[in-house]
Amino acid sequence: MKAKYSRRSVLKNITLGSGAVLLSPALSLGATGCTEPQKGPLKGNINHSVSQWTFSYLSLEDLCKAVKDIGFSAIDLTGPKEWPTMQKHGIYSSMCYTMGDNSLYKGLNNPDYHEKLISEYLEVIPLMKKAGYRNLICFSGARNGMDDETGLRNCQAALEKILPVAERNGVTMIMELLNSKRDHKDYMCNHTVWGVELCKRIGSDNFKLLYDIYHMQIEEGDVIQSIRDYHPYIAHYHTGGVPGRNEINDSQELNYPAIMKAIVATGFKGYVAQEFIPTYPDKLDSLREAIQICDV
């Protein structure tokens, strides 16, 4: 997630800027900058999803139809109000929100917010079980001068009040790794090793990490090795081109086919959600291309 493009409020008309890098001939299609649409069914090695907020220019109804047309069946970062529409179209909520404001900065590391956050999580978990959903996002919050150890203890204290209910309902609490170098200044869970340490202290299969590839490339790099080293603690992935948080084609620095192959090699069975800001004239061409790139 990027501050400039909040998950709750996204610019509805994003055009390709004059400073954007053109795609190579190997990946381009005419003047659109999009690869040829994929022919036939997806390979099935990656469970594909897309974050709703990045395509918020579409109604949820239309996004559900587009997702089915492209060939996958999951949307990320939705709450109980969105679920009936998704269920009507046979679309799974691969990452759920609570019914609260889901602030990145007022998170589990601050005891001042524990009562409110614990209540919100305990409210939505039974609804998730009823709907058949498993993943519930959470955030560390901002440091505000707090040291790492205090943050770990405070997050652990809050999670230990939530996890017994999550475990009984088959729900996994998933904390997102975000960069604080550029997008989310002062966010605490900004390094994989910090998140992994929290997982170790919690000691539950129902608490894991969301490894956002875009964010971790900016904050620490070494993406493929981190995936290999820490995959037992990762339950979900997000994508995005670096720099810019746009398409994941060869206009940016990450080799997404190689990253996807590394994920598959770990035996990962969760979801990889596209979470980039589309810039193509037809924004759904961006999504079609991204799914094709990641379908290794």
| Contact present, 188 and 107 (Cβ < 8 Å) | yes
Query: Could you give the 3-state DSSP secondary structure of residue 275?
Result: coil
Q: What is the CATH number of domain 47-294?
A: 3.20.20.150
Would you state the pLDDT for residue 256? 98
Provide mean pLDDT across the span 50-66. 98
Output 75 or 26, whichever has higher pLDDT.
75
pTM for the whole structure: 0.88
**Percent of the chain's residues with pLDDT above 70:** 86
According to DSSP, the residues that pair with 2 across neighbouring strands are 5
Provide mean pLDDT across the span 20-49. 56
Instruction: Delimit the domains of the chain by residue range.
Output: 47-294
Write the DSSP symbol of residue 267: T
CA gyration radius for the chain?
18
- The tens digit of pLDDT for each residue in 251-270 reads 999 999 999 999 999 999 99
Provide mean pLDDT across the span 166-179. 98
Would you state the pLDDT for residue 89? 98
Question: What is the band of 40 on the pLDDT scale with cuts at 50, 70, 90?
Answer: low
- The tens digit of pLDDT for each residue in 184-207 reads 999 999 999 999 999 999 999 999
Would you state the pLDDT for residue 12? 34
- The tens digit of pLDDT for each residue in 88-117 reads 999 999 999 999 888 999 999 999 999 999
- For residues 256 and 233, what is the distance between their CA atoms, to the nearest angstrom? 21
Check pLDDT > 60 for residue 169. yes
- For residues 237 and 49, what is the distance between their CA atoms, to the nearest angstrom? 10
Would you state the pLDDT for residue 10? 40
Question: What is the band of 14 on the pLDDT scale with cuts at 50, 70, 90?
Answer: very low
Query: Could you give the 3-state DSSP secondary structure of residue 108?
Result: coil
Mean pLDDT of the residues in the chain = 90
- For residues 150 and 72, what is the distance between their CA atoms, to the nearest angstrom? 41
Would you state the pLDDT for residue 205? 98
Check pLDDT > 60 for residue 52. yes
Handedness of CA 262, 78, 96, 133 (dihedral sign): negative
Output 251 or 27, whichever has higher pLDDT.
251
